[in-house]
Structure 1
Amino acid sequence: MNGMTSLDDLRLFVAVARHSSFVEAARRSGVPTSTVSRRVAQLEEALGARLLQRTSRSVGLTHEGERLLERAGPLLEGLTSVLDTSVEREDEPRGRLRVTAPVMTGAQRIAPALFAFAARHPHLTLELELTNAVVPLVEEGFDLAFRSGPIHDAELVARRVWSIPFTLAASPQFVKQALRGRTQLDREMLGSVPAILSQPGGIWRLRRRDGSVEDFRPCERLRVNDPRMTIAAAVQGLGVVCAPKEAIDQQGQALVQLTLTGRTVEPRELFAVYPSRRQLPARVRMALDWVMKHG
């Protein structure tokens, strides 16, 4: 059995196993689905064991497949890291860079910085996924993620990138009608007016004058999973929104910033995270340094 061919077959098997899909493994590997199926079958024949249980609706691992994935997955990750580090020149990153970032901060700061980085390095292929979901990096094949802190996952390295100021805001119409013209609110009034949230059971973190932080639960009127749309809803007069100050400032006179007696909105800490057991390839390290400098 050809060593290089078997290694390629093993990579495809790991991709299918991690995504439970031949189609998804083919998409991420850049080869036809039929080729993935044939190569996995070739690996099974060479090993003399069935690795995957295939039905019309799903793909699952056999006991032998689970053992192979458990042993081969980390070895392939380490080999990929070694090869990446060996072939990349410090001044010219190349290969695929897969990054995930929060929707709003990703669109406003991270995406423009990464686009500029990619424009400077034509041998780099960039894939950026904006989502507020916590994506499993190794399983989904991401090199780098940007996440709001705190980061509790011991298997990830977390590097602080920015502190993002947040503020409260509402439309002039809402201020006039619902807030009776007041732009400085007390905690009780803030808790009684309609609020726009971006996640179920959303809370706003407020810092008191003594430095302590409290979780404040606003009165939800509308919830939308894209934070950019919470600002759009606030512009339409649907309630108070808590959002990055930079994004509120971009709305000009369409939104009025609100203050809170005795409290301020706690900033959000943004971290860059990556798997702790993986040596950071040059292209990932260079991209992260670029974002931190230019984002």
Structure 2
Amino acid sequence: MNRTMSIDDLRVVIAVANQGSFIAAAHRTHVPTSTVSRAVARFEEAVGVRLFQRTSRRVSLTHEGALLLERAAPLLEELGEVIGKLSDDSQVVAGRLRVTAPMVTGAGPIGAALMSFAEANPKVTVELSLSNAVVDLVESGIDLAFRGGPVEGADLIVQRIGSVPFAIGASRSFVQRELPRRKALDLGALESLPAIIAHPGFVWRFRREDGTVREVQPRARFCVNDPRVAVDAAARGLGLVRSPPDLLAAAGLVVLEPARDVGKPEGRDLFAVYPSRRLVPKRVTMAVEWVARALAGPESPRKRPARS
């Protein structure tokens, strides 16, 4: 006796019992009559008893069939209600959202966007951790990460959400001392003047008008992996710094224009990254969309109604 029973087959059996006909049950369940007949036969084989008496004119329940209908039909209805509630609950944006983001963008536009996301979705608890380190999302229990490109990982979903622009800056005293007569930074100045960089050997990338990229290795004067500290070092006159323009402006630094043949400082693509799994929580996908809209501007995500 085969003990493997299908819920779908049970639904068909109950439809036949309620309709009193294979044909009527087929109409009710929107499947061919032959499919109904096979489903009933499979279920009878699984339970090991005959559930229906069949004649050429009518279908009636056996004693066992009537008992099944009495006991199983309410349970099946209750199961449907439970599954429906689970489906409805999955559409509610709620739960804990653990996020990691880089120091500067996390404290800036990403952090601001996540704050407005939390305001619009009061059932979501956001835990934002700022770090430039690349952590294992699954091992660390992180739902969502924002990272600068490039991003690799076969087990990750990676979505570009925008880019961070960069500019070259220095303090006014540094410009007066090192660049008194220069209107633009040529290649020689970029390679010879002291600079604040992320780590020894770090290169600055410049994109020229023809689309080609030039890599320049500055002369390291001070190394630090936090852009905010790097800008502070430049404000003290220690050297050139490559940073987002808003940080340069906030520190009162002078933005220096590279020579035309050098190109423009290349920005850095920003990506949303989350573990690859079949069912991604709605709070994750909504947070990604929210931050992407905030970075794109000019429309504020506060103006968009929360989905619930």
TM-score per shorter chain, which class? 0.5 to 0.7
Match of 2:249 in 1: 249
Q: Which residue does 1:159 correspond to in 2?
A: 159
Report if aligned partners of 2:100, 2:144 keep a CA contact under 8 Å in 1.
yes
- Is the Cα contact below 8 Å between 2:106 and 2:130 reproduced in 1? yes
Cα drift, residue 182 of structure 1: 2.6
* Residue 182 of structure 2: aligned partner: 182
Shift in alpha-carbon separation, 1:294–1:274, aligned structure 2, 3 A: same
**2:27 match:** none
**Superposition deviation, residue 115 in structure 1:** 1.1
Residues 99 and 128, structure 1, Cα contact 8 Å, conserved in 2: yes
**Counterpart residue number, 1:35:** none
Change (3 A) 1:173 1:278: farther
SS at match of 2:290: helix
Partner of 2:118: 118
Q: When the two structures are superposed, what TM-score results if normalisation uses the length of structure 2?
A: 0.64
CA contact (8 A) 1:144 1:284 kept: yes
CA–CA distance in structure 2, aligned partners of residues 141 and 156 of structure 1: 14
Take 2:170 and 2:145, find their aligned partners in 1: how far apart are those partners?
A: 31
Corresponding position of 1:13: none
Amino acid at match of 2:155: E
Change (3 A) 1:95 1:238: same
Q: 1:107 to 1:287 in 2, by over 3 A?
A: same
Secondary structure, aligned partner of 1:154: coil
Aligned runs of 1:1-295 on 2, under 5 Å? 86=87, 88=89, 90=91, 92-251=92-251, 254-261=252-259, 262=261, 263-295=263-295
Quote the Cα distance in structure 2 between the aligned partners of 1:205 and 1:181.
25
Shift of 1:94: 1.3
Q: How far off its partner does 1:87 sit?
A: 6.6
Supply the distance in 1 between the matched residues of 2:278 and 2:151 (Cα, whole angstroms). Answer: 18
Give the Cα separation in 2 of the matches to 1:175 and 1:194: 12
8 Å contact from structure 1 (residues 100, 128) kept in 2: yes
Q: Aligned pair in 2 of structure 1 residues 103, 86: CA closer, same or farther (>3 Å)? A: farther
Deviations 1:37-89 (A, max 9, x none): xxxxxxxxxxxxxxxxxxxxxxxxxxxxxxxxxxxxxxxxxxxxx9xx85745
Assess if the C-alpha contact under 8 Å between 1:183 and 1:257 holds in 2.
no
Specify whether residues 183 and 277 from structure 1 end up closer, same or farther in structure 2 by C-alpha distance, changes over 3 A only: farther
- For structure 1, the 5+ residue unaligned runs are 1-81
Q: Which amino acid letter does the alignment assign opposite residue 256 of structure 2? A: L
Whole-angstrom CA distance in 2 between matches of 1:273 and 1:209: 31
Q: Measure the CA separation in 2 of the matches of 1:154 and 1:276.
A: 8
Question: How far did 1:157 drift?
Answer: 1.3
Structure 1 Cα separation of the partners of residues 87 and 179 of structure 2: 62
> How far apart are the structure 2 equivalents of 1:160 and 1:172?
36
Counterpart residue identity of residue 254, structure 2: V
**TM-score (normalizing by structure 1):** 0.66
* Secondary structure at 1:185 match in 2: coil
- Structure 2 residue runs without a partner (length 5+): 1-82, 296-308
Residues 98 and 143 in structure 1, CA contact (< 8 A), matched pair in contact too: yes
Quote the offset at 1:118 in angstroms: 1.1
Describe the SS at the equivalent of 2:257.
strand
1:113 to 1:180, Cα distance in 2 relative to 1, 3 A = same
User: 1:176·1:182 contact (CA, 8 Å) conserved in 2?
Assistant: no
2: distance between equivalents of 1:210 and 1:127? 43
Structure 2 letter corresponding to 1:156? L
Q: CA deviation at 1:154?
A: 2.1
How far does residue 183 in structure 1 lie from its aligned partner after superposition?
4.3
* Partner in structure 1 of residue 65 of structure 2: none
